[in-house]
Amino acid sequence: MTRKATLTLMAVVFACTMASAQKYKYIDKTVAVVGNEAIMISDIESSVKERGAQGLSSDQNVRCEVLESILESKLFLMQARIDSLTVDQSNVEAMLAQRIDQYLTYLGGEEKLEEYFGKPLYRLRQDWRKQYEDMSLTQGEQANIMKKIPDMTPHDVKEYLDTVDANNLPIVPIKYQLSQICLYPDREAADLAVREKLLELRERIINGEKFSTLARMYSEDPGSSRRGGELGMASKSIFWPAFSDAAMALKPGVISQIVETPDGFHIIEVIEKKGDMFNARHILMKPQYTAQDRDKAFKTLDSLRTEILNGAVTFKMAANFYSQDAPTKTNGGQMSDPNTGSSYFEIDQLKPEDYRAIKDLKEGEISEPVQSTDNDGRQDQEKDFVVGKTNYKIIRVDKIIPAHTASFNDDFSQLQAEVKRAKQMAAVDEFLDKKIAETRIVIDPMFKDCDFHRSGWASKFSED
Which tens digits make up the pLDDT trace of 160-186?
888 888 888 889 999 999 999 999 998
Rounded CA gap, 325 and 460, in Å? 62
Contacts of 231 (CB under 8 A, 6+ apart): 2, 3, 224, 279, 280, 281, 282
| Residue 146 neighbours by CB distance under 10 Å | 16
Is 235 exposed, middle or buried, given 0-12, 13-18 or 19+ CB atoms closer than 10 A? buried
Percent of the chain as helix, strand, coil, to the nearest 5: 50, 15, 30
Residue 228 has pLDDT above 70, yes or no: yes
| pLDDT at residue 132, as a whole number | 93
CATH node for 188-285: 3.10.50.40
Question: Which residues of the chain does CATH 1.10.4030.10 include?
Answer: 8-151+423-460
Q: Which residues contact 77 (CB under 8 A, 6 or more apart)?
A: 37, 134, 137, 138, 141
- Single-letter amino acid, residue 345: F
pLDDT of residue 52: 65
Helix (H) or strand (E) holding 404: strand 404-405
Summarised one tens digit per residue, pLDDT across range 325-366 is 988 998 999 999 877 788 999 998 899 999 999 999 999 999
Region 374-379: mean pLDDT is 66
Q: What is the pLDDT of residue 204?
A: 96
Has residue 447 got a pLDDT over 70? Answer: yes
Pick 282 or 26 by higher pLDDT.
Answer: 282
Task: Provide the mean pLDDT of the chain.
Answer: 87
In this prediction, residues 253-271 reach a mean pLDDT of 94
Residues written for the chain: 464
| Per-residue model confidence (pLDDT) at position 58 | 57
Asked if residue 329 lies in contact with residue 323, where contact means CB atoms within 8 angstroms, the answer is: yes
pLDDT level of residue 7 (50, 70, 90 thresholds): very low
Q: Provide mean pLDDT across the span 272-289.
A: 91
* pLDDT tier at 158, thresholds 50, 70, 90: very high
Q: Is it the case that residue 255 has pLDDT exceeding 90?
A: yes
What is the average per-residue pLDDT within 93-120? 84
pTM for the complete prediction? 0.67
pLDDT for res 377: 58
Q: Domain 8-151+423-460: give its CATH architecture.
A: Orthogonal Bundle (1.10)
Greatest alpha-carbon pair distance for the chain in Å reads: 87
Count of Cβ atoms closer than 10 Å to residue 382 Cβ: 8
Fold of 175-183+289-402: Chitinase A; domain 3 (3.10.50)
Considering only residues 57 and 152, tell me which one the structure prediction assigns the higher pLDDT: 152
Angstrom distance (rounded) from CA 215 to CA 222: 10
Question: Contact, 179 vs 325, CB < 8 A?
Answer: no
pLDDT band of 92, cuts 50, 70, 90: very high
- Residues 441 and 30: their CA atoms lie apart, in Å, by 12
Chain mean position to CA 100: 18
Cβ contact 190:202 at 8 Å: no
Question: What's the confidence (pLDDT) of residue 254?
Answer: 94
Can you say how many angstroms the Cα of residue 392 is from the centroid of all Cα atoms in its chain? 27
- Yes or no: say if 394 and 304 are a contact pair by the CB < 8 Å rule: yes
Give mean pLDDT, residues 369-388.
Answer: 66
In this model, does residue 124 exceed pLDDT 90? no
Give the residue range(s) of CATH 3.10.50.40 domains in the chain.
175-183+289-402, 188-285
